[in-house]
Amino acid sequence: MQKTKSYLSDTVSRLKPSGIRRFFDLAASMEGVISLGVGEPDFITPWGVREACILSLEQGYTSYTANAGLLELRKEISDYLLRRFRVSYDPADELIVTVGASQALDVSLRAIVNPGDEVIVVEPSFVSYAPLVSLAGGVPIPVQTSGTYQFKLQPEQIEQVVTPKTKALIICSPNNPTGTVLNAEELAQIAHIVAKHDLLVISDEIYAELCYDEQYTSFPAIAHMRERTILINGFSKGFAMTGWRLGFIAAPKDLATAMLKIHQYTMMCAPTMAQYAAIEALRNGADDVERMKKSYRQRRNFFVQSLNELGLSCHMPGGAFYAFPSIQSTAMTSEQFAERLLLEEKVAVVPGNVFGASGEGYIRCSYASSLEQLQEAIRRMKRFLERL
């Protein structure tokens, strides 16, 4: 008998592929492209971390670890969170080592969402949030921040969309794609509304190490928020370890216990050799992180100033490695701008609308490229704009 039906679930059929991919595929098929598209460090993982991984292999540490991750690593993570962000989690039952922050997000959402539950997603946002909410059976509720406020969530915006079905709010500071950082006072205002409506917060702090201008505030460090926060962090960005696929979840015991069940059945554990590498990163990696951060800050200053000089108005992003300039002065859509810039001047950027409706009129440029490449990109963008 011939196959007559689609075997796909309705949820998966409805998911759109990430808009970032289309531009990467186009850029990859061209020669001489300067890519400001990718969201990852341009540094190789520091040698000490790679060496620790090699050593672990030499010693034959190639089997599974505990489901939640090596206890030795969880202890290091616990010390690190206290030292760096003044938040305290018990390594025994409040920390789970995951396959990147990506899996941490997936596990978190699947642990809390009942069918039809609503999860507020603050846009422009990392492209995975809304699809992950849908895959967990929930309904993503976008909230659009505005360039007028440097894309900072205004607390009253939460109130405007809260319903009896609202379960959680996902926040991300420093933000991808805008680089915006929320300070302690702004987080406290959000916390007030969160408590009022009895919401849970998933705080994606994957860029916490890359905060350039002020002391970083972790959301669970805000008064009374620890009990209603799932903290997500990892090694990809700050430690330049994207390919190692290592992140972690910190959450109160009841939530962590539930999440561990999912992690146990779906993943067993995070990669063992990456876990040994991560122990070294936390013990001795602070100087390397500082060195990379200093370099990003220098590139940020050059790049954002240059964009503004070109007439592409851009707020100074406090963290991550993204600039999010407005291209509204060109009267093009984000997609038109990005496509023409790529085809005519071979500079790859990501159209802002792929991160949510409020990203329309903006482009995301990653400045995790060499200063020479950034200078050349600016020259090409200048030529492009002068021709318009």
- 242 lines the binding site for ligand PLP (CB under 6 A): yes
Site for ligand PLP in 87-126 (CB under 6 A): 100-102, 126
Peptide bond into 41 cis (omega under 30): no
To ligand PLP, the closest distance from the beta carbon of 68 in angstroms equals 17
Between CA 344 and CA 310 the distance in angstroms is 17
Angle between helices 19-28 and 334-345 (to 10 degrees): 10
Specify the 3-state DSSP secondary structure of 97. strand
- 172 lines the binding site for ligand PLP (CB under 6 A): yes
To ligand PLP, the closest distance from the beta carbon of 103 in angstroms equals 7
- Which part of the chain contacts ligand PLP (CB under 6 A), choosing from 155-163, 234-242, 275-283, 353-361? 234-242
- 45 lines the binding site for ligand PLP (CB under 6 A): no
SS3 assignment for 269-311 = CCCHHHHHHHHHHHHHCHHHHHHHHHHHHHHHHHHHHHHHHCC
Between CA 38 and CA 36 the distance in angstroms is 6
Q: Is the dihedral of CA 248, 252, 253, 258 positive or negative?
A: negative
To ligand PLP, the closest distance from the beta carbon of 108 in angstroms equals 11
- 236 lines the binding site for ligand PLP (CB under 6 A): yes
DSSP symbol at 43? S
Residue 81: alpha-carbon gap to chain centroid: 18
List Cβ<8 Å contacts ≥24 apart for 5-12.
Answer: 11/134, 11/135, 11/137, 12/135
Residue closer to ligand PLP, measured from CB, 101 or 122: 101
Assigned token pair, 96: 């789970």
- 39 lines the binding site for ligand PLP (CB under 6 A): yes
- 206 lines the binding site for ligand PLP (CB under 6 A): yes
Residue closer to ligand PLP, measured from CB, 102 or 134: 102
- 255 lines the binding site for ligand PLP (CB under 6 A): no
- 180 lines the binding site for ligand PLP (CB under 6 A): no
User: Given candidates 234, 325, 351, 359, which one binds ligand PLP under the rule CB under 6 A?
Assistant: 234
Residue closer to ligand PLP, measured from CB, 102 or 166: 102
- 277 lines the binding site for ligand PLP (CB under 6 A): no
Residue type present at position 79: D
Residue 184's contacts (CB-CB under 8 Å, 6 or more residues apart) are: 217, 222
Binding-site residue total for ligand PLP (CB under 6 A)?
Answer: 13
Between CA 262 and CA 300 the distance in angstroms is 39
User: Given candidates 134, 176, 229, 334, which one binds ligand PLP under the rule CB under 6 A?
Assistant: 176
* Residue 238 burial (10 A CB sphere; 0-12, 13-18, 19+): buried
- 342 lines the binding site for ligand PLP (CB under 6 A): no
User: Given candidates 69, 131, 147, 247, which one binds ligand PLP under the rule CB under 6 A?
Assistant: 247
User: Under the rule (CB under 6 A), what is the footprint of ligand PLP?
Assistant: 39, 100-102, 126, 172, 176, 204, 206, 234, 236, 242, 247
